[in-house]
Structure 1
Amino acid sequence: MPALDAKIRFLSDPASYPDPPSRIKARETHMSWVFIADDWVLKLKKPVKQTFLDFSTVDARHFFCCEEIRLNRRLARGTYRAIKSLYAAFPTR
């Protein structure tokens, strides 16, 4: 799996998107990167482990993405659209 910085570069590049946005703003939090691209916002959970959360494995990050979608769709169905994998963009070496 490529390094986190390669994923950040990929998601920060308008050419990576099927319908390239006019610009992308990337913002970092303690547990994620958020990419604001025209009318889309994408979140990439970091592979981190803290006393209050564990995103250290792909399975853990996927589980918590599913939970975020499940919980937040109750109040913002149109905002929380889908979970997508970056594996297709970064083939295994």
Structure 2
Amino acid sequence: MLAPTGRAATGRPATAAAQRAGSANGTVLHIDWTACDGRGLCTELLPDLLRRDEWGYPIALGYGSDVPVPLALHAAASDAVALCPRLALTLRRPA
């Protein structure tokens, strides 16, 4: 089972299969770093998935631009996408 941060209980990043199993139908939150300007609204809406770096940009330890979204957080992730002032977030299925 995945911990809220998307890491396995061991503290290591979960495998791709475990990420998909623990996410809403394999949904990932994609962060477009070229559009993001570090306002941090997404980190407030998704504290279990994202943290802020020292400049306010979202970070998800163990992941790059695609963060697996657990089913329980799918509504909050949808809100973050809809409310992102720079349109830097999208929900998508992994390739």
Q: TM-score category by the smaller chain?
A: 0.3 to 0.5
TM-score, structure 2 length as denominator? Answer: 0.35
TM-score, structure 1 length as denominator? Answer: 0.36
Larger Rg, first or second structure (1 or 2): 1
Instruction: For CA contacts below 8 A with separation 6 or more, give which structure has more relative contact order.
Output: 2
